[in-house]
Structure 1
Amino acid sequence: MNKLKSLLEILIVSTRLGLTSFGGPVAHLGYFHTEYVRRRKWMDEKSYADLVALCQFLPGPASSQVGIGIGVMRAGVLGGIVSFIGFTLPSVLALIIFALVLNTMDIASAGWIHGLKIVAVAVVAHAIMGMAKNLTPDLQRKAIALFALVGTLLWQTAYSQVAVILISAFIGFLLFKQHAESDTDRIKFPISKSFAVVCLALFFGLLVLLPILREATSLNWIAMFDSFYRSGSLVFGGGHVVLPLLEREFVPTGWISEEAFLAGYGAAQAVPGPLFTFAAYIGAVIDGWKGGLLATFAIFLPAFLLILGTLPFWDSLRRNVKVKAALMGVNAAVVGILISAFYFPIWTSSILEPIDFAFAAVLFSMLVYWKLPPWIIVVTGAIGGTWMTLL
């Protein structure tokens, strides 16, 4: 009975956060801290900081993984699942509905769609600024970011990001292994190491097996599952970095048009919750509500498997200076990958005239300097795009 009560409490609290958490992953972590640490005291400051550090270390949606981890620590694996559902479902439903409505329209020439594409310019520019400040503070890491930018722009294949991340990890290991600090405190999580090993084996097994199944069969749902699962497995740095991976998986192959892709990315800024739910929109554009649910499950599954698979081993990982050094290189590469995506496809398909650039500057200023809520930026972008087509 107590377990059921705990699960219900987790569902109610996480759903409220899922309905109100605007502002991206950094803001989500602030909301979680206020609700779970300060207000409800489900965990202390040190435990929360350790959990955040682990989720920043792993690929995938950091804020969603923190929410899953809090649920696990509160009520086991079921608690993690319930916490994830509550935080994620509101934005998933909103984006699936948006995609279904969009499928009934001719969006190629719609002014409001162009406005949403310009919103994407402002939002990603803001993300790049914040990430560059934190992840590339010195010349070495700026050079790694430049390498990632040039590499992913000039070598645009399905494997370019993976190769760039691996090379950057090796460079980071060589450059920073003497500078990374190790942690000495210990923390325990309520998951057995044997269960964690099963989760990690499943994570890597699917990463290898899904592309083989995709080649061996002609089933669309396996191809979709593979693309979303791989994108969710290879993203370091939060939701905005998933954009180039998803764009290169689905736009060149004709699964979704560039206009629809960027319109959905703009709309994703207007809903609360994790930005990874953008996958639900893409899935719904491709194959209705079933595609939306499949895409959501596929892109978040790696986050689940990784957080459950690494919680018991986190003590060893965070005290390993070599692992931390490699991660410093990876984080710097993420900045370059995001700048690459900012140029192509976001800038090249959105900023076509001087008025587009002027409008992007207005939206950027509203977001960064006036600090207006993201939904206001999105509404302004849609209205402004419509107005510009009438000029």
Structure 2
Amino acid sequence: MSNSFGTAFRITTFGESHGAGLGVVVDGCPAGHPFPFARIAAQMARRRPGQGKLTSPRQEADLVRVLSGLEPDTQRTLGTPITMLVGNDDARSHHYDDLAELYRPSHADYTYDAKYGLRAVAGGGRASARETVGRVAAGALAEDLLAALHGVEIVAWVAEVADVIAPLPDLTTLTRDQVDASPVRCPDHAAAEAMIAAIDDARSSGDTVGGVIRCVARQVPPGWGAPVFDKLTAALAQAMMSLPASRGFEVGDGFASTRLRGSQHNDPFTIDPITGQIVTTTNHSGGIQGGISNGQPLRLAVAFKPVATIFQPQSTVTRQGQPIVFQPRGRHDPCVLPRAVPMVEAMAALVLCDHMLRARLARVGDLQP
């Protein structure tokens, strides 16, 4: 079931990059929730191609059709599977005619052939980042549930592109409007301009660049996640590393914590003088301890490699093993980071919503805060 994700809130995505369309089936959404059409449309608009010179020029409206799971009159969820579908309107499959008999470097061409004995040549099929259409739609629904039931806020932003590293923003007040003020989706103006220049430089030479997206989830209650194999950390790692082009994952201080001593990295507990709740004075752990949320802001980061399709001559081999030099054509992102921001938010929301629903099975109580 490699096309499904989650336990209590479970999604199954379907469709190929250049097929008739793509979509998702969401199973486990509680009944009676007003369906968040506007939130889903907003996130789909942030994910879609054709947003400018920093992204693929492919033009897709990415309008979501809901085929099942809603009560017709009230548009509230029925508690039954919700099916969302997005059509492919601007696929140009002929761009891939020359690639049917060769393996592009660092793509899934060879590995899909090795596993299945055949592959979807046009657009890379389900190996394409277009597969994330279904994830983002389902993630926006999950995010709406989280916000309605616990006030959870999830904001991701581009923190690094190539060798440009932005200063850390104020994670208590950062908003999506601040992130979206720049087309590269970095809230720091100076860093954003340098990132745009780095992407433009790579694009002009037929090359690509990678980087890092950071994400914060605020108002996550303590107690979500489970010990050992179902740690919230492990679920988030699986979710983020399942995204196309992802190459690394961190929670809290991540790899930087290896350069600290325990006395520097530990998060002392105290009592909030206003709320009376147990809190930590620092948050090196990133809101997760022992694989379970501790009530502090959840901090994570995802590293993305440079897009594999570059417009330069490259050496490879054909399916018959013959050496060949080829140069790709078509429409591709010079940097995946700006469009990957809503993808990271979606996967964070899917994990948190799943563990929110699973948490009620672990103790007496319901979903209400």
State the TM-score bracket (shorter-chain normalisation): under 0.3
**Greater length-normalized contact order (CA 8 Å, ≥ 6 residues apart):** 1
Q: TM-score, normalised by structure 1?
A: 0.22
Q: TM-score, normalised by structure 2?
A: 0.23
